[in-house]
């Protein structure tokens, strides 16, 4: 459909403005990552989430992008932000290690899928360890799902306080069933390579308020 030249020019200006804002925010996040500030993790984590799950190279939506810096809109100044993040971080409870002495081989975020060879969001982390190594629940909770699928293989989902869910995938053995109450550190299964896995490892996810989170925020690996 034909558009007036003035309208097309105006739309181009809007698109350029959006792209410049994207670049500005990305530069800001890059600089932020260089400083050891208590609030940087939450902001960068949100940025990674929206970049991996909601951005489209064909259509940059400025409304999605602004969610990355929503934290700044909720406070009046950096002093309030600093104080709020210290309080928030003081409530974080470190998880028990899901796999003892494991090695993280793939982190949270966008990655080249090792089997499918395409860029895909990685909702958790991969922890390599010998097949049959015990897998532990990271917090007290209740098992809400035990099952299997082609990608995750045998996996378990556990609900915890604070609207948090953890997921343990590619298991060889599963030692719990739905509705079981589990304790922090309890063995719930063993490392395997079921589903879409080339080597034995645990795929571990953390979801809070229905959004995937970087598990390394709670883990001490």
What's residue 22's pLDDT?
A: 65
CB 53 within 8 A of CB 94: no
CA–CA separation, 106 and 129 (whole Å): 13
Residue 17 half-sphere exposure, CB side, CA atoms within 13 Å? 7
86 vs 51, more confident: 51
CA–CA separation, 8 and 173 (whole Å): 60
Residue 194 has φ and ψ, to the nearest 5°, of -75, 155
CA–CA separation, 51 and 153 (whole Å): 27
pLDDT exceeds cutoff 50 at 53: no
The reported pTM is 0.62
Q: Where do the domains of the chain lie, and which CATH numbers do they carry?
A: 5-89 (no CATH), 103-217 (2.70.70.10)
100 vs 91, more confident: 100
- List, for residues 151-176, the tens digit of each pLDDT value: 999 999 999 999 999 999 999 999 99
pLDDT exceeds cutoff 80 at 210: yes
- List, for residues 64-83, the tens digit of each pLDDT value: 445 444 544 444 454 454 44
Q: Contacts for 151-157 with beta carbons within 8 Å, 24 or more apart? A: 151/195, 151/196, 152/195, 152/196, 152/203, 153/192, 153/193, 153/194, 153/195, 153/196, 153/197, 154/189, 154/192, 154/194, 154/195, 155/195, 155/203, 156/188, 156/189
């Amino acid at each position: 459909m034909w558009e007036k030249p003035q309208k097309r020019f105006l739309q181009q200006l809007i698109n350029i403005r959006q792209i410049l804002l994207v670049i500005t925010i990305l530069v800001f996040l890059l600089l932020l990552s260089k400083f050891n500030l208590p609030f940087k993790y939450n902001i960068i984590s949100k940025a990674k989430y929206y970049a991996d799950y909601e951005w489209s190279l064909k259509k940059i939506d400025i409304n999605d992008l602004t969610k990355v810096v929503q934290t700044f809109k909720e406070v009046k100044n950096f002093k309030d932000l600093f104080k709020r993040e210290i309080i928030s971080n003081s409530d974080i409870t470190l998880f028990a290690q899901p796999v003892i002495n494991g090695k993280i081989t793939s982190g949270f975020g966008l990655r080249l899928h090792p089997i499918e060879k395409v860029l895909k969001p990685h909702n958790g982390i991969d922890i390599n360890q010998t097949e049959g190594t015990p897998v532990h629940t990271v917090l007290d909770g209740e098992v809400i799902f035990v099952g299997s699928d082609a990608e995750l293989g045998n996996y378990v989902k556990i609900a915890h306080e604070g609207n948090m869910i953890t997921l343990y995938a590619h298991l060889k053995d599963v030692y719990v069933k739905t509705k079981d109450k589990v304790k922090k550190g309890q063995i719930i299964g063993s490392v395997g390579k079921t589903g879409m896995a080339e080597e034995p490892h645990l795929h571990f996810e953390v979801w809070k308020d229905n959004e995937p989170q970087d598990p390394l925020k709670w883990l001490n690996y």
